[in-house]
Structure 1
Amino acid sequence: MSDNRSPLHAPPWIVRTGARTWRCAPAPTEVRAFHAALPGHSPTPLIELPQLATELGVGRVFVKDESCRLGLPAFKVLGASWAIHRTLAEHADGAEEPGPVTLVAATDGNHGRAVARVARLLGQRAHIFVPQGVHPAAVAAIAAEQAQVTEVSGPYDEAVRRAAEAADAPHTVLVQDTAWPGYERIPGWIVEGYATLCAEIDEQLAAHGVAAGPDLVAVPVGVGSLAQAVVTHYRSRPRGRAPALLSVEPENAACVLHSLALGEPVSVTTGETIMAGLNCGTPSSIAWPYLYGGLDAAVAVPDADSARAADRLAALGVNSGPCGAATLAGTRAVLTGTGCAERRTALGLDVTSVVVLLSTEGTAANPHSNPVA
């Protein structure tokens, strides 16, 4: 793993062997039907960008555009809606006095807003803890969903700790998209909710004539929940093409990259980054076995690269915030520049390969979008 940041040097990255033969159980099939039944739900676009294919030296590039999912500017509502559905059903079955509950979460922006939106639509309360560094506009968007917002003078991990403490109150449930020993069932439901995104990609690629599936999927990583869903989707198949899976993180919060390098989950001290939704210092406990087993590679990118990638996507007509554009930045770092021939070979990619980039948020989700030239 290199720590050099100059474009003349290799990016901070790690490649691993055996991930494409690792297998796990599939996600529940009923999740897709649940989302399809929600008012206003429709699949988000999968956009082909031939210009990026030329720039990256591959056959075809597709971007999964999550800038508008159920009226919100990010994919997070897929997990929040399914987990809250399961949580409230369980609460109703076991409650002696049925009534509203308070749904508690910590967030860098998108997850908390999704929890608050679903709570409001279902007549529940929400209390969202926001760490230091989240843009005031993102905080205001959560509050606009009629949620109670508590701003924490510390990093994301501290906001998670405060949210977990608040959830000890009566008629209160923690709906968090990271797990730790003793708190894993609800984060698992959140991961299940993200399966809808992957199923849509299969159908949309087939409609574009790519029935065999992609050769590389790049996914942005915070605590690793979305990456867990992506690994589950592609590593639960008994046969067919097994794509390379690449995780992308900010250089200032590369907990998964460092964990993979050490072979065990570790916490890192995070710094400031425009990729606010990825600014997480500890991998989710339930995600870690999937990341360790099923990720082929991990790369970390600086803010400037993510901002430039967001600008490039905007020029091509794709609305992507810094977290979503991180996948283009990371893929570009791996497939181009010094040492790229070795990296491409390690991932089994050539000029005919099909690449899918997950753009997980639009600019409306992240007011920090594109502050770097």
Structure 2
Amino acid sequence: MLDDASSTTALPWFARPAARSWTCAPAPAGVRDFHAALPGYAPTPLTELPSLATELAVGRVFVKDESSRLGLPAFKALGASWAVHRALAERTAAEPVTLVSATDGNHGRAVARTARLLGRRAHIFVPRGVHPDAVAAIAAEGAEITRVPGSYDDAVHQAAEAATIAADAILIQDTAWPGYETIPGWIVEGYSTLCVEIDEQLAAAGATAPGLVAVPVGVGSLAQAVVTHYRGRSSAPAPALLSVEPEAAACVIESLTRGEPVSVTTGPTAMAGLNCGTPSSIAWPYLYGGLDAAVAITDAAAARAAGDLVELGVSAGPCGAAALAGVRAVLAGEGADERRETLGLGPTSVVVLLSTEGMAANPHGACP
């Protein structure tokens, strides 16, 4: 059972302090070397923002800025490129292949870009709520687009069905379910490069190991990669890990509260890239075991955080800014002292916020 240290306030919050002692196997070696060999690879910035450290009453705050990753405005290219590489390695080189995926925007564009660069076809399923500019960006990569008049989960279901019917199709989906777990696992492995970069950049900045890492969550694949990185090693102190999701799609908090993965009915949110109703099946054990806490935030909080980050020189849309909004919610208001103690944060702690996408990924304020 989880040790529920939830506050008595209205903040949608769940905590399990015992998570810092949970361990898992580390990510495989070689992923960073693969990415480093790709055209246009460079580590994304880890930007220190002293004004946020003052606001949050901690030692140092760093933002991992994923607004330009391998030529795209979000981190998703890391997972898509590695997964496609692994999937195609199992096919004959001359064999025709169509890469199929469902997306709220960023992942689908990453799959489509990877397909274009490799001379392959892509077929992307897009649910309602994705801004037309985001859909146009996927189409500009040469992908076939199918619009789904339903939720993200509906789009995933249709993409999976289409990939089953087409003989030349490979489903490159960044969520897993029983019977479909290998490729989502490769996508998670791809995200490990982001965490390795953070280690190197903190060391270069003369910073201590992070006391808290905050990560936005949809189905939880990036969070799985973060948990794997920080719970899969024994040499460094284990940081507290906080997941942040929209109140309109809080499937992780609901699952943690119940102690098992559940689906929730999602509602409209500007954090469209996090508008997911079901945790990934392979992510769930990592979220359940390795997350110290989870919080859900409002669109208004995400919008404010995005605006503040932009003013501080970090390009961020609502999804990327969710990490800041979540930490602000946890460390302010009634019950904040209790939550700060639960996370082990003090005046010298280092906080790392993962800003998963930039403004260009969020036309007119709606995250893809």
Task: Tell me the TM-score normalized by structure 1.
Answer: 0.95
| Corresponding position of 1:35 | 35
| Corresponding position of 1:184 | 181
Give deviations 1:324-353, integer Å, cap 9, x for gaps.
Answer: 000000000001122100000011101111
Which residue, out of 311, 318, 325, partners 2:314?
318
Give deviations 1:285-338, integer Å, cap 9, x for gaps.
Answer: 000000000000000000000000000001101000100000000000001122
Provide the C-alpha distance between the structure 2 equivalents of 1:370 and 1:81, rounded to a whole number of angstroms. 25
Contact 2:32–2:192 (CA under 8 A) maintained in structure 1 = yes
How do 1:210-225 residues align onto structure 2 when only pairs under 5 Å count?
Answer: 210=207, 212-225=208-221
How far 1:2 sits from its partner (Å)? 11
Distance 1:341 1:135, change over 3 A: same
| Corresponding position of 1:77 | 77
**Structure 2 portions without partners, runs of 5+:** none
How far 1:240 sits from its partner (Å)? 2.2
How do 1:237-248 residues align onto structure 2 when only pairs under 5 Å count?
Answer: 237-248=233-244
How do 1:147-226 residues align onto structure 2 when only pairs under 5 Å count?
Answer: 147-168=143-164, 169-210=166-207, 212-226=208-222
How far 1:48 sits from its partner (Å)? 0.1
How far 1:123 sits from its partner (Å)? 0.3
Provide the C-alpha distance between the structure 2 equivalents of 1:207 and 1:239, rounded to a whole number of angstroms. 18
Distance 1:267 1:323, change over 3 A: same
Q: Identity of aligned pairs, percent? A: 74
Provide the C-alpha distance between the structure 1 equivalents of 2:12 and 2:133, rounded to a whole number of angstroms. 32
Provide the C-alpha distance between the structure 2 equivalents of 1:187 and 1:76, rounded to a whole number of angstroms. 12
Amino acid corresponding to residue 253 of structure 2 in structure 1: L
Contact 1:10–1:337 (CA under 8 A) maintained in structure 2 = no
How far 1:11 sits from its partner (Å)? 1.6
Contact 2:271–2:366 (CA under 8 A) maintained in structure 1 = no
Amino acid corresponding to residue 38 of structure 2 in structure 1: L
Provide the C-alpha distance between the structure 2 equivalents of 1:232 and 1:3, rounded to a whole number of angstroms. 24
How many residues get paired? 363
How far 1:367 sits from its partner (Å)? 1.2
Provide the C-alpha distance between the structure 1 equivalents of 2:236 and 2:307, rounded to a whole number of angstroms. 35
Provide the C-alpha distance between the structure 1 equivalents of 2:273 and 2:241, rounded to a whole number of angstroms. 20
| Counterpart secondary structure, 2:363 | coil
| Counterpart secondary structure, 1:53 | helix
Cα-Cα RMSD: 1.6
**Structure 1 portions without partners, runs of 5+:** none
| 1:346 counterpart = 2:345 | no
How do 1:35-114 residues align onto structure 2 when only pairs under 5 Å count?
Answer: 35-92=35-92, 98-114=94-110
Distance 1:259 1:194, change over 3 A: same
Provide the C-alpha distance between the structure 2 equivalents of 1:71 and 1:117, rounded to a whole number of angstroms. 9
How far 1:265 sits from its partner (Å)? 0.2
Provide the C-alpha distance between the structure 2 equivalents of 1:215 and 1:53, rounded to a whole number of angstroms. 13
Which residue, out of 244, 250, 255, partners 2:246?
250
Which residue, out of 109, 113, 116, partners 2:112?
116
- Which shifted more, 224-233 or 360-369? 360-369
Provide the C-alpha distance between the structure 1 equivalents of 2:15 and 2:109, rounded to a whole number of angstroms. 34
Contact 2:17–2:343 (CA under 8 A) maintained in structure 1 = no
Provide the C-alpha distance between the structure 1 equivalents of 2:292 and 2:70, rounded to a whole number of angstroms. 31
| Counterpart secondary structure, 1:64 | strand
Contact 2:74–2:356 (CA under 8 A) maintained in structure 1 = yes
Distance 1:237 1:3, change over 3 A: closer
How far 1:368 sits from its partner (Å)? 3.8
Amino acid corresponding to residue 241 of structure 1 in structure 2: P
Contact 2:20–2:240 (CA under 8 A) maintained in structure 1 = yes
How far 1:3 sits from its partner (Å)? 11
Contact 1:311–1:370 (CA under 8 A) maintained in structure 2 = no
Provide the C-alpha distance between the structure 1 equivalents of 2:178 and 2:281, rounded to a whole number of angstroms. 7
How far 1:243 sits from its partner (Å)? 0.1
- Which shifted more, 362-371 or 130-139? 362-371
- Which shifted more, 318-327 or 235-244? 235-244
How far 1:9 sits from its partner (Å)? 5.0
How far 1:157 sits from its partner (Å)? 0.2
How do 1:268-307 residues align onto structure 2 when only pairs under 5 Å count?
Answer: 268-307=264-303
| Counterpart secondary structure, 1:218 | strand
| Corresponding position of 1:364 | 360
Provide the C-alpha distance between the structure 2 equivalents of 1:71 and 1:151, rounded to a whole number of angstroms. 25
Contact 1:2–1:11 (CA under 8 A) maintained in structure 2 = no
How far 1:99 sits from its partner (Å)? 2.4
Distance 1:163 1:108, change over 3 A: same
Provide the C-alpha distance between the structure 1 equivalents of 2:88 and 2:317, rounded to a whole number of angstroms. 32
| Counterpart secondary structure, 1:248 | strand
